[in-house]
Structures are given as structure tokens and as C-alpha cells.
């Protein structure tokens, strides 16, 4: 496994790999890796010759009062874990190389930045979208894999990136808690209360399976369950359209049930996709996105660069 710290070197290496016909898969992370991240690497392996994981604690996506300084960082441990799942390259840039102090250009996500995490973390999506765009330019991947945990990605489609976007399911601890680098902040009591997130999502699923379709009542059930965690402070608990993230009046088609809470100073998020088919309500998934094919030929995501040239 090769580790690259400099942006320009990564760009050169990625270009060289593409010229050799490699199909590149990118897994962007902020490090402090857990099994959820590693599942994305395995997902990227499917149909790709070379998997590149990036490790970058992105200062642009943290608010001034948030945990940028104390966010867990352990590069040696991360590298050992990535090597263990057969990752080929790791791009771990220094903050100054990735975000120039005098940079004034940002990628703005309109609309989505007014709801859910966008509303409670001003500037968060702009920071994420800006860095993901830069990572796409540096690594030039054919495929990028994100977790459903951050269920708000539509950058590639809106900006015509020729990158296939795969959304991977949430990996959980045995007791249901969604894995997160921030779980290590939790004390024992806080961790117990944090189990309310996944319990609340399961409760909504049960209610829906029992026939409830009114989202106001489902949402009430969701909040009741969260309120049982005495250390939890609600940020949001909503049932929204998977595309627009706008609240749904009734549960139908594919819906995203999303929760965010503070446990002490730690902010945790979780979600589940529910798919209603007649009387049946199943746990679903967010669809991958594949760039549309070029007229008369395959898109970049379908071909190996340089193939046939
Ligand atoms: P982060 O390092 O927390 O910024 O996350 C990097 C990527 O890993 C994002 O695409 C997340 O959605 C994804 N991710 C984080 N936690 C999990 C999890 N428990 N299961 C699957 N993917 C995850």
C-alpha cells in the first residue's frame, strides 16, 4: 500500500494509473477508521482495479464551536486497518496543501443546506462539497463510495462529474449503534443513551409495518423513543423525501427517517430508508448514481481510460 501526502503527487499517480487502464475507486474519509469505513473500501473494490482511500480532517466542514481540534487522529492505526482490507493507495494530505489559506472559491449546495444537518451546521455542506470536489480533481476516480450515514450527496449529478457514486449501508455495532469516529467521545452512560437512536428508527419501522402512514404520528413515536434517553438533546428527527430532504406528509414510496442528537457535546446522526410497497414496509437503500452514457458511446465510468487507444 502506497501512502501519498502531496496533492500534486497524488494527481500524477492517479493520471499514470488511469493511463495504464486502471479503474479507480475513491473512499473519502476523515480517518479514525472503523468497520464502517472499511466496508466502503470493500465496496469500492467491486469493479475497480485500484482503491484509493483519502484521510483528511476537513477544516471547512466544521463550525467554529465544533470538534475540529479534538477530532480523533491516528494515522498509523488507520494505515494498518486499510492495509488489512487490501487498500492500494492512501491519500493523506496536510491541511495546508489541501486548503490554501487564501482560497476564496467554494462549492455551494443550495437548498439542502437549509434542512437537517445543513440547517444545524451552517457552512457544513459547503465545506464537504468543496473538499469532495477537490478530491475528485486530485484522485480522478471512476467510482466514489460514500456511506448512507451522510445521506445527502448529489454533487456529482449536479456538477456533471463523470464519477459513479455508490452509497453503502450503515455498519452498526452488535447492539445497533451506528459506527462513528465520534462514538469514542462517549462515556458509558452516554453510550447507553445513544442506543436510543437506532431503537427509535426501529420503532418507526415497526409502527409503519403495523400500518401507520401518517408521518406526524410516526415522527411523534420517533421523538418519544429518543426522549427516553435522558442525556439526549434533540437536533432533528424527521421523515423526509430521499431526494429533496423535504418532510413527507405521508409515508409512501421511499422515505428517509433521519435523526440527529447531542449526547453531552457529542453530535450523533443515524438514519434508515423505508420502502413502502402496498402493506409491506421494508428497510431499503439509497440508489447509486451512474453518470449517463455519452451519446454513441460509454461514459468514463464504464470504460478503462486509454483502453483501445
Ligand atoms: P467520516 O470519516 O465520518 O467523514 O466518514 C467517511 C465516510 O464513511 C462517509 O461516506 C460516511 O458516510 C461513511 N461512514 C461513516 N460511518 C459509517 C458507518 N457506520 N457505516 C458505513 N459508512 C460509514
Give the number of the atom of ligand 1 that is nearest the alpha carbon of residue 179.
Answer: 19
Q: What pLDDT shows up at residue 117?
A: 80
* pLDDT tens profile 199-216: 999 999 999 999 999 999
37 is catalytic: yes
Cβ of residue 179 lying under 6 Å from some atom of ligand 1: yes
CA-proximal residue: ligand 1, atom 14 (nearest): 147
- DSSP, collapsed to helix, strand or coil, labels residue 243 as coil
Residue 307: pLDDT band with limits 50, 70, 90? very low
Give the number of the atom of ligand 1 that is nearest the alpha carbon of residue 145.
Answer: 10
Cβ of residue 146 lying under 6 Å from some atom of ligand 1: yes
Residue 268 neighbours by CB under 8 Å, 6+ apart: 178, 180, 182, 183, 194, 197, 260, 261, 262
Residue 122: pLDDT band with limits 50, 70, 90? confident
Pocket test residue of 42, 117, 145, 150 for ligand 1, highest count of atoms within 8 A of CB: 150
Cβ of residue 130 lying under 6 Å from some atom of ligand 1: no
pLDDT of 308 > 50? The answer is no
Single out the residue of 197, 209, 193 nearest to residue 170, CA to CA. Answer: 197
Tell me what percent of the residues of the chain surpass a pLDDT of 90: 80
Please state, in angstroms and rounded to a whole number, the distance separating the CA atoms of residues 288 and 168: 9
Distance 57 CA to ligand 1 centre (A): 13
Please state, in angstroms and rounded to a whole number, the distance separating the CA atoms of residues 27 and 53: 5
- Could you tell me if 105 and 99 are in contact, meaning their C-beta atoms sit under 8 angstroms apart? no
pLDDT of 170 > 80? The answer is yes
Amino acid at each position: 500500500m502506497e501512502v501519498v501526502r502531496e496533492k500534486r503527487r497524488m494527481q500524477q499517480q492517479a493520471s499514470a494509473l488511469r493511463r495504464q487502464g486502471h479503474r479507480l475507486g475513491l473512499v473519502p474519509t476523515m480517518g479514525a477508521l472503523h468497520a464502517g469505513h472499511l466496508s466502503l473500501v470493500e465496496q469500492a473494490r467491486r469493479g475497480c482495479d485500484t482503491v484509493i482511500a483519502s484521510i483528511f480532517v476537513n477544516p471547512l466542514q466544521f463550525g467554529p464551536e465544533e470538534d475540529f481540534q479534538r477530532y480523533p487522529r491516528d494515522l498509523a492505526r488507520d494505515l494498518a486497518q486499510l492495509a488489512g482490507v487490501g487498500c492500494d493507495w492512501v491519500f493523506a494530505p496536510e491541511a495546508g496543501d489541501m486548503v490554501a489559506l487564501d482560497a476564496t472559491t467554494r462549492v455551494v449546495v443550495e437548498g439542502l443546506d437549509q434542512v437537517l444537518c445543513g440547517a444545524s451546521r451552517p457552512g457544513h455542506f459547503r465545506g464537504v462539497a468543496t473538499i469532495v470536489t477537490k478530491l475528485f480533481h486530485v484522485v480522478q476516480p471512476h467510482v466514489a463510495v460514500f456511506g448512507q450515514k451522510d445521506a445527502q450527496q448529489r454533487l456529482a449529478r449536479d456538477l456533471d462529474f463523470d464519477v459513479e457514486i455508490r452509497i453503502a449501508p450503515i455498519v452498526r455495532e452488535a447492539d445497533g449503534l451506528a459506527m462513528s469516529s465520534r462514538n469514542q467521545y462517549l462515556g458509558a452512560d452516554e453510550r447507553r443513551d445513544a442506543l436510543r437512536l437506532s431503537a427509535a428508527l426501529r420503532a418507526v419501522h415497526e409502527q409503519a409495518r403495523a400500518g401507520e402512514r401518517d408521518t406526524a404520528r410516526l415522527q411523534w413515536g420517533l421523538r418519544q423513543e429518543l426522549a427516553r434517553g435522558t442525556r439526549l438533546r434533540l437536533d432533528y428527527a424527521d421523515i423526509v423525501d430521499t431526494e429533496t430532504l423535504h418532510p413527507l406528509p405521508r409515508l409512501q414510496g421511499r422515505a428517509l427517517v433521519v435523526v440527529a442528537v447531542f449526547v453531552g457535546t457529542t453530535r450523533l446522526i443515524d438514519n434508515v430508508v423505508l420502502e413502502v410497497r402496498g402493506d409491506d414496509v421494508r428497510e431499503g437503500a439509497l440508489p447509486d448514481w451512474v453518470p449517463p452514457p455519452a451519446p454513441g458511446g460509454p461514459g468514463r465510468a464504464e470504460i478503462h481510460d486509454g483502453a483501445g487507444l
